[in-house]
Amino acid sequence: MPAAPLTLDHLRHHAVARTLFTPTTLPKAIARLGFVQADPIRAPARAQDLTLRHRVQGYRAGDLEARYARLGIEEDFFVNYGFLPRATAALMHPRTPRTVWPKTRWQQAHEVLAFVKDRGVVHPREVDAQFAHGKTKNWFGGSSNASTQLLDGMHYRGLLRIARREGGVRLYAARDVHEPATDAAAAMDALIDVIVAKYAPLPQRSLSELVSHLRGGAPQWAGERAAALARTRARLPSARVDGVDWYWPAGENPRSLRHARTATADTVRLLAPFDPIVWDRRRFERFWGWAYRFEAYTPAPQRVRGYYALPLLWRDQVIGWGNLSVKAGRLQPELGYVAGKPPREAAYRAALDEELQRMGTFLGLG
């Protein structure tokens, strides 16, 4: 008997259940996610912490930063900036950035690298005090320490790594020298597998765009991307649903009844703006029929949902959003709903209370 046609409901159940796995340890969660996108805004916590709290048993805001040096992971560029296993980061180094440094810049970099190797771990202000590189214009048109920009560039080029953070400030150490990958095609395939494993099921256009984002993590292989994407489409399972081709990792079954049961359990979750469930805005609109936009950098009068609105997942439906703040040691939630009002079910009210309690514990509010 032929299998029933794959539907958007199957894909939505699969998307929710596969990434909201049973909470585990922090190292195992990062390995399973493959990459955790970072963001400096804390409202009420940073995006990386908000992402990990659903997937790590007993996770508290700040645990990633506190344990970073012991986890065997790197802060680095991938498809965006964030945290990823050291072995994945190694696939992208040494990078050949599109911006070519002049000899004078390289001379500064080698002088700083020797200083870092001598010190072991350095704070940017130590480099600034030692070399007095002065000021320079930053990406936003303002003024920054030239030493800070130099350190950023050295980190991106693989000369330095982030050793740890202090008060949110990145401290640098010398990175081990990486030999260039002898098989660029194999390295690209491995990087794309990380992308698919994190964000699947993926519509074809989103898959193409994510692969193009590797221009940040692996700019030296720009010429490999088209062939790598073609290989990915050929080797991954896929199906055409509602006129769109969808892809997911080998061995997974979007029709799984277990995934449907998991996705439709009576649970509320407030998700980070960059959570794997909501990251792909195109997929978001197909699954839930409305547009979610990250508005932190939108002028206040133009915001529709709020400065740092967290998508609100009830069962397998994103039904609204929440803006959370802490005042006088208490969590202050402001919730909005696509339908204009919350579900009337008692199960929803109980599940929302549980989620807000979990959020308070995560934030250390008691």
Tens digits of per-residue pLDDT, 91-121?
999 898 888 999 999 999 999 999 999 999 9
Which CATH number covers residue 118? 1.10.10.10
Asked which of 122-136, 247-261, 328-342, 344-358 is least confident by mean pLDDT, the reply is 122-136
Q: Looking at the domain assignment, is residue 91 inside a domain?
A: no
Q: Looking at the domain assignment, is residue 62 inside a domain?
A: no
Q: Looking at the domain assignment, is residue 81 inside a domain?
A: no
Mean pLDDT of 328-342: 96
pLDDT tens, 162-208?
999 998 899 999 998 766 667 899 999 999 999 999 999 999 999 99
The larger pLDDT score, comparing residue 362 to residue 264, is at 362
pLDDT of residue 117: 97
Q: Using CA atoms, how far apart are residues 31 and 39, in angstroms rounded to an integer?
A: 19
| Percent of the chain scoring above 90 in pLDDT | 86
Question: Which is it for strands 268-270 and 143-145: parallel, antiparallel or unpaired?
Answer: unpaired
Q: Looking at the domain assignment, is residue 53 inside a domain?
A: no
Q: Looking at the domain assignment, is residue 78 inside a domain?
A: no
Q: Looking at the domain assignment, is residue 357 inside a domain?
A: yes
Q: Domain boundary at 174, 207, 225, which?
A: 174
Give residue 122's domain range: 103-174
Mean pLDDT of 360-365: 96
Q: Using CA atoms, how far apart are residues 131 and 146, in angstroms rounded to an integer?
A: 10
Q: Domain boundary at 140, 174, 208, which?
A: 174
| Number of domains making up the chain | 2
Label residues 109-142 b or e (16+ Cβ within 10 Å = b).
beebbeebeeeeebebebbbeeeebeeeeeeeee
Asked which of 30-39, 121-130, 257-266, 343-352 is least confident by mean pLDDT, the reply is 257-266
Q: Domain boundary at 174, 204, 230, which?
A: 174
Q: Looking at the domain assignment, is residue 326 inside a domain?
A: yes
What pTM did the predictor assign?
0.93
Q: How far is the CA of 134 from the CAs of 125, 146, 173, 301, 315, in angstroms?
A: 12, 6, 22, 37, 53
pLDDT bin (cut points 50, 70, 90) of residue 316 is very high
pLDDT of residue 143: 46
Mean pLDDT of 123-150: 73
The larger pLDDT score, comparing residue 12 to residue 138, is at 12
pLDDT of residue 263: 84
pLDDT of residue 3: 67
Question: Across 25-120, where does the E strand assignment appear?
Answer: 36-37, 73-77, 81-85
The larger pLDDT score, comparing residue 366 to residue 242, is at 242
Q: Looking at the domain assignment, is residue 17 inside a domain?
A: no
CB 162 within 8 A of CB 171: yes
pLDDT tens, 208-249?
999 999 999 999 999 999 999 999 999 999 999 999 999 999
pLDDT of residue 178: 67
pLDDT of residue 131: 86
Asked whether the predicted pLDDT for residue 161 surpasses 60, the reply is yes
**DSSP characters for 91-110?**
TT-S---SSPPPHHHHHHHH
Summary mean pLDDT of the chain: 93
Asked whether the predicted pLDDT for residue 140 surpasses 50, the reply is no
Asked whether the predicted pLDDT for residue 325 surpasses 70, the reply is yes
pLDDT bin (cut points 50, 70, 90) of residue 133 is low
